[in-house]
Structure 1
Amino acid sequence: MLIGLALAWPALVGLPLHATAAPDDIDALIDDSGPLPKQTRDLTALPDLLFTTPSGLLCKKTVVKVMHDVTCAGDLPGAPAGTRVVTLPTVYAQANGPARFLPTPPERFFGDTTGQAPVLLPAGHKIVFWAFSNTQSLVCGVPRSADLVCRLNAPKAIGADNSGPQTHGFVIAAPHSHVF
């Protein structure tokens, strides 16, 4: 019984059962970003951004003090049963664990979006939220192979001085969306 629970636990909490490959190269997509922050301390001044994709995903990049999240809701093909959102958390520009599929209602992450017009992120385009180096960036894009890919490159995990570079994110694509 305990062995079965231990093996099933990652799936129950939205963690991948095994490491998955990084997504297609979204760096080559057309960049729709505005001016980028110059350094990590500038991240707290980033505004929230509500955006949508051609497939109908609704996403919000939020900032609460030093925590940044990219959360998306909509059709998440192949996600675990009961999934309502996928979220990618960060603290400053550091990794805060892998992205997760959650059963949480989208309103918890989006708040009241009445009167907010989401920006359309078209196919073949990306939004870069920050890019301090090759190992320190947050980007979401719509490549040909997926409805949406969001990727965080971080120099380390939060609270782990020698964890080394981290790459986390999610891929929303039929037939199987996944987090990494």
Structure 2
Amino acid sequence: MEIKLNKIESDAYYNEVLAIVSNYKKLVKNPRQKIKGVNRQAITLTVIALAFLVVFSFLYLQNRSNTLYLIVVAIFAIAFVLGIIYNVLIRKRISKLKNKSSDRKLVIEDDYVELTVGNEKSRLEMSEIQYVLINKYSISFIPNKANSTLIAIGISYRDDVLNNFARKELIVDNSSLYQ
């Protein structure tokens, strides 16, 4: 069965797919978990670094003779700057993925799933698929090997995937976690 993918996905979709890729090992162990986007993770860590930066800067200003506070302030200043850089890089990556305009299609057969984007093909044999995760914005075919390609499509194709994917026991529907 061939599914023509013609919809340009949202930033939230790409954010979720990047989070799935970055949390691959956790998802293989426990697929029934809510995925938080990498943007949210980056912002949370940056805010935590900023809070500690402010606290330890205040402590250093109270006791300038203690160089340990100065070292900790420098560490959290670096963590804060790295958090901002990481957030900018995530946004650039999402923008790059979102603006990739080419023909896309998903092929679901009895023995494989294949995603074609322009001239690039990603293929997972049915024996390589550990789970099919249905999340808030995406449907992801999670491979059982870390070096395999992860295939993801938008949630708007949910019915097409459910109707054409024969191995229903591999489907993990996490969409109820987001309500």
Structure that is richer in helix per residue: 2
Computing the radius of gyration from Cα coordinates, the structure with the larger value is 2
Structure that is richer in strand per residue: 1
Fold agreement, TM-score > 0.5: no
TM-score, structure 2 normalization: 0.28
TM-score, structure 1 normalization: 0.28
